Structure 1
């Protein structure tokens, strides 16, 4: 069988790229599995563990993809909180309450304390005034994400739709903010009228499906090349 040089080279390059993408997804799958296993262990041990130190928080922030579960103690900066949303909860419209937590050595950790009703938009200052300030927060620490369709923040008007840490820190004049949020599943003392939203969060791991997709494309391309080559060879006189 005679192979067309140009088509063979192009097919070989494309198949190599597709297989490379599939292999990269397999590596990502193993990486994500390690994170999930680590978080599962932290969920088991972190519920009763001592609050994390500043050094431990610094170590988490040095990770390229910080994800950790634990407890953090500090002082809530109630006057610098924001309402993120609107967000729905069991059919009701409200917001996520984000409050900066001042920890040791002047660092700040923004806490997603949970869901609050739409009433907070009108009388949030009064409700914030009765919240405790010195607290211990337990939850998952991770980089926030948001839909690409989410509206842009308007800091000047105090309208927030994206949990953009850098933007929030600048608008609220927060010192040394950590590059991740603490999504609370428990606050001690409890925050009145605030419903925690995160419980046993784990990152999605669909990398195996993605890998199979790329490998399948590579096989399809090889099949098409084989059919094409067979057809071309049939046209060549014996």
Structure 2
């Protein structure tokens, strides 16, 4: 008679608990990867919808100084004013294509007296590492700028910067430095400026529209969770064969398995014939 009583042993209860916990962990990791893919797809949709759209006036996109919604990211806006070159800042630790560098942040005083922070582009580190070799001057006088909106960055504890530099684009801090009414909901990555200077920092490239391998990883975690139960079932089956070794039906199945195994294993004569055939 078949004997399944061994599965009631607490050892197997422990195996089952471990398998369930492993499956739950795999499920959570899979959901995390699905969520990351959803975020990546949402960002790609923003790039497609906003990057090449027609610019809108800044005051239309951001009616208040602290206005900004994540769905507006990369939206081009037009603004007109004068650069505050003396208030220019360098954002540290900004790599581009694997090269370390800075982003040049130049406040633009608009015609109504408010200030909007423009990221004019990227500069490589110079010979001294802590500064670019040269920072191109912004256009003097009235300038018309097209910039793409981007949210400010949070404060990162423990990061510091030297004179004229910042570690993170935290717009409220920049507003305090300027002592003027400043847009704190978003700043802008410059797309163009008129009049255009002879030289300017490297323009921000269009972000890559790549959702990554998150879907593949999510499906892999699901497969790992299923494999855990398959492994548990295989272990139970082997234990069952041991406990029921004296059962006639199980003995017959064991003999059948041995016959199939023997049929798949080549004999010495088979090996010799194969060698002769190859020759």
- For normalisation by structure 2, the TM-score amounts to 0.61
Question: 1:186·1:196 contact (CA, 8 Å) conserved in 2?
Answer: no
For 2:69 and 2:95, how far apart are their aligned partners in 1? 33
Q: Which has the higher contact order (CA 8 A, sep 6+)?
A: 1
Q: Which residue among 17, 40, 43 is the counterpart of 1:35?
A: 43
Pick from 205, 208, 212: which aligns with 2:211?
A: 205
Contact 1:68 1:142 in 2 (8 A): no
How many Å separate the matches in 2 of 1:13 and 1:39? Answer: 39
Alignment gaps of 5+ in structure 1: none
- The 1:227/1:179 distance shift into structure 2, 3 A limit, reads farther
For residue 136 of structure 1, report the CA deviation from its aligned partner: 1.8
Map 1:66-81; keep pairs closer than 5 Å: 67-75=73-81, 76-81=83-88
| Larger Cα-atom Rg | 2
Render the CA deviation track for 1:112-142: whole Å, top value 9, x for unaligned. 1013475986886x935x5345432233524
Deviation of 1:219 (Å): 3.7
Q: Structure 1 residues 136 and 15 mapped into 2: Cα distance closer, same or farther (>3 Å)?
A: same
The alpha-carbon deviation at position 35 of structure 1 amounts to 3.2
SS of alignment partner, residue 79 of structure 1: helix
Instruction: After superposing the two structures, state which structure 1 stretch, 159-168 or 84-93, moved more.
Output: 84-93
Secondary structure of the structure 2 residue equivalent to 1:217: helix
For this pair of structures, how many residues does the alignment match? 228
Aligned to 2:225: 218
Residue matched to 1:110: 117
Residue 26 of structure 2 corresponds to 18
- Unaligned ranges ≥5, structure 2: 246-279
Give 1:188's match in structure 2, choosing from 191, 194, 206.
194
More strand by share: 1
Structure 1 residues 74 and 87, CA gap change in structure 2 (3 angstroms): same
Once the two structures are TM-superposed, the CA of residue 190 in structure 1 deviates from its matched residue by 1.9
Contact 1:87 1:93 in 2 (8 A): yes
User: Alpha-carbon deviations, 1:92-124, whole Å to 9, x = none?
Assistant: 986421112345877644221013475986886
Shift of residue 81, structure 1, vs aligned partner:
1.2
